[in-house]
Amino acid sequence: MDEVTARSWLADWRRQVARLYTDVRRLAPVDAPGAWALWRAERERLYRGHPQSPVPAGERDRFRPMYWPYDDRLRFEVGVEAAPAGRPAGFTPLATPGAPLATLGPLALPNSGGEDLAFDRVGTVTLPLPGGDATLGLFWMRGYAGGLFLPLGDATNGSETYGAGRYLLDTAKGADLGGDAEAGTLIVDLNFAFQPSCAFDPRWACPLAPPGNRLGARVEAGERLR
């Protein structure tokens, strides 16, 4: 596939993903399990049939994504709180020309590839999970046109799910469950947790869940690998 064709198909992939999440946001308030079923079906169609699927071409015909059953206890509308002051542990600072080293500038999240992507930590969200509250860092991607990014690591990583974690939100690429900007809230539904593209093929480079977004507990919801 030549570069022009590849980029055209990549744009189409993002267009279809954005359309899917628009349908999910419309349906979920009245039928969250139905929205999740739609999401599953459309993602399988894209995984198996789209030229820009992250699944290697030779594996697509037999590929079947796997999921835990829908759990309605794991859908939340949560407020975005201010992040604690200072640089969070486990992050690499990215140099900002002319800025002193002590300045809290953009951060580089762990990455499966060699390129550092710049993020700002914009706040935190606290999820009232059945086993206890979990607070996760919420980030803003500086590349593309910007976008909210909420990665998650948990104790299923490396066995049932990708070893470096999954994504809950990646709005730069259309994965957006909605929220209320005036109220300062976001919809976070762990049933929609999905693998990054690098889980299927190392040719993809993906930002990954930093230490502060890794839970010691199992999150048995969303997409799984086995």
pLDDT at 117: 76
CB atoms within 10 A of CB 150: 21
SS3 57: helix
Model confidence at 98: pLDDT above 50: no
Which amino acid, residue 56?
A: P
Higher-pLDDT residue of 161 and 205 is 161
Residues 91-103 have a mean pLDDT of 48
As a whole-number percent, the residues of the chain with pLDDT over 70 amount to 90
pLDDT at 100: 42
Model confidence at 101: pLDDT above 50: no
Please state which of the ranges 50-59, 93-102, 195-204, 210-219 shows the lowest mean pLDDT. Answer: 93-102
Closest CA to 190 of 80, 78, 71, 79: 71
CA distances (Å), origin 159, targets 67, 134, 165, 220:
14, 21, 11, 12
Q: Burial of 24 by CB count in 10 Å (0-12 exposed, 13-18 middle, 19+ buried)?
A: buried
Per-residue confidence at 14, pLDDT binned at 50, 70, 90?
A: very high
pLDDT at 18: 96
pLDDT at 93: 55
Model confidence at 159: pLDDT above 60: yes
